Structure 1
Amino acid sequence: MNELHIEIKVIPNASKTELIGFMENDVLKIKVKGVPEKGKANQELIRYLEEIFNVKRGAVRIIAGETSRLKHICITGKEKSDLQKLVDRR
């Protein structure tokens, strides 16, 4: 099965959860409404990624960066071209 690995810079405490776009070094920037307490921002990020990539619950995992704003994410069933299409639509 395909797996998409991406680096994401998370900006917590935003007014709404949204995809901003690519930063330098192919890092994706996403704002999330959740606060960085007790995993709330991580939960919001995972929920949002599941929604925009249209994948089942559990297909999005944080591989590294649980307590950091820079996260390494794995999305099962998606590939790099899916990410580019998504960013192009935004």
Structure 2
Amino acid sequence: MDPWRYSTGGVSVALRVTPRGGRDDIDGLETLADGRVVVKVRVRAIADGGEANRAVTELMAKALGVPKARVRILSGTTSRLKQIAVDGDPAKLGDALRKLTAAKPDQPQDKGKE
């Protein structure tokens, strides 16, 4: 199951964010203990004063090819688990998310995804 939901104006995406992660990157998908699937994201910014949230929205905007103003945090501003909204063509955003979260050849896949 994909960690994003489609709406008429875009998509909402469930994220698990690692602040101070060494680099700004999307690390694929992760299955949480409760069975939910999320997109794993890491940012260099620290979780202080909204810096990590800003870094997350900028990273997702750049990765999805949309302006920063089209990405906003819906919930989880003070949590590692966040829900973001991305405005745009839902089909194109879904395709982009699928490509961004596909297992990279040099990384093992998450064992819980089969």
TM-score by length of 2: 0.72
RMSD: 1.6
- 5+ long unaligned stretches in structure 2: 1-7, 105-114
Select the structure with the greater relative contact order (CA < 8 A; seq sep ≥ 6): 1
Query: How far has the Cα of 1:57 moved from its partner?
Result: 2.2
Structure 2 distance, partners of 1:61, 1:89, is 26
Structure 2 distance, partners of 1:84, 1:62, is 20
Instruction: Verify: 1:12 aligned to 2:12, yes or no.
Output: no
Q: 2:97 aligns with which of 75, 83, 86?
A: 83
TM-score by length of 1: 0.90
2:74 maps to 63
Report % sequence identity: 27
Structure 1, 72-81 or 36-45: larger mean CA deviation: 72-81
Q: How many residues align?
A: 90
Q: Which portions of structure 1, spanning 4 or more consecutive aligned residues, are displaced by more than 3 angstroms?
A: none
